Amino acid sequence: MGTVSFLDLEKERRRKDLAAALGRIGKKFLVMSGKGGVGKTTLAVNLAAALAARGRRTGLLDIDLHGPSVAGALGLACPLAAGADGKLVPAESGPGLKVVTIQGLLPNHDEAVIWRGPKKIAAIRRFLSEAAWEDLDFLIIDAPPGTGDEPMAVLEAIDDLRPLMVTSGHKLAINDAAKAFNFLKAMRRRPVGLIDNQSYFVCPRCGGGVDIYNREAARELAGRVGAPLLASLPLDLEAARAAEEGRPLVWRRPDHPFSLLIAELAEKLEQL
Ligand SMILES: Nc1ncnc2c1ncn2[C@@H]1O[C@H](COP(=O)(O)OP(=O)(O)OP(=O)(O)O)[C@@H](O)[C@H]1O
Ligand SMILES: [Mg+2]
């Protein structure tokens, strides 16, 4: 019989902890993009808020370690603490939304996280296995842009993680979204679909829709990669203001057209 090192035992314990934590979580979605600034956090926060408002036990995990925005978008001043069992206790926001973000562990608000790959990957795995998520219907993960360590870490850690790609219609975002779809192909993961954000501008005076970029570009990309176009969300002043104020529009104005589009998307994801 071969000898087992302490390192092997520790690895095995971590693997079991991760499997146990993930086993208590229902549907898991990764909100990702090729290009930065296309609206991942806005979507992730509003989607998680909509699911929570629909009575789903929902967790929101921010894996944008270098630029965490979830706490700001939710208006959370969230120092995260360890519970009696040593597990990280997620911050609570709104009706039943549990939130874990690196922002809650920083000693001061503007602290920079200066970590390379292995440390980032270890931190993300610990956020999954050592946070007290308990039983959840949904876990929404907000990724940084691109195809680096952070999305790779969660895709490797979670077998049933379903990627949602966000883009806007301008050429540079579409080009990078195509690369991100190829990343998923290389990782042998099927995208759930594409979300075209800032697809058109809703004029606050007349209520009419104005195309800013090529409104067909996201649909063409979706067709090219064989993923459904799940939603086309407008660039909406109310949604932007709500983010600035740290209260997602779906909670502030659930009857707003933007909130209704998010609720429609939440319903689609419930049925997947
Ligand atoms: N549909 C929208 N309507 C109005 N404003 C929006 C919309 N989507 C995003 N924004 C605004 O655009 C800015 C960037 O959005 P957000 O932070 O969600 O992008 P991101 O993809 O998460 O960025 P990063 O790649 O840096 O993580 C924010 O100020 C946000 O409020
Ligand atoms: Mg973001």
Q: Where are the domains of the chain?
A: 12-271
235 lines ligand 1 (CB under 6 A): yes
Name the closest-CA residue to atom 5, ligand 1: 240
- Per the structure block, which two tokens stand in for 248? 């997602």
199 lines ligand 1 (CB under 6 A): no
Q: Are 200 and 211 contacting, i.e. CB atoms less than 8 angstroms apart?
A: yes
40 lines ligand 1 (CB under 6 A): yes
The pLDDT-based confidence of 94 (bands split at 50, 70, 90) is confident
How far is the centre of ligand 2, averaged over its atoms, from the C-alpha of 3 (Å)?
Answer: 45
Which are the contacts of 157, defined by CB distance < 8 A and separation ≥ 6?
18, 22, 124, 125, 128
pTM of the predicted model, to two decimals? 0.96
Stretch among 76-85, 130-139, 225-234 having the lowest mean pLDDT: 76-85
Report in angstroms the alpha-carbon separations of 63 from 154, 155, 161, 185, 201: 9, 12, 14, 21, 29
Confidence at residue 266, expressed as pLDDT on a 0 to 100 scale: 98
Q: Residue 160, SS3?
A: coil
Average pLDDT over residues 36-51: 98
Residue list, CB under 5 A from ion ligand 2: 40-41, 69
Quote the mean pLDDT of the chain: 94
Confidence at residue 181, expressed as pLDDT on a 0 to 100 scale: 98
Average pLDDT over residues 149-160: 98
Name the closest-CA residue to atom 30, ligand 1: 240
Whether 205 shows a pLDDT value over 90: the answer reads no
Q: Could you give the CA distance from residue 41 to residue 62 in angstroms, rounded to a whole number?
A: 9
Confidence at residue 1, expressed as pLDDT on a 0 to 100 scale: 56
pLDDT in tens, 55-82: 999 999 999 999 999 999 999 986 788 8
Terminal-to-terminal C-alpha distance of the chain: 46
233 lines ligand 1 (CB under 6 A): yes
32 lines ligand 1 (CB under 6 A): no
Q: Is domain 12-271 annotated with CATH 3.40.50.300?
A: yes
Average pLDDT over residues 105-116: 93
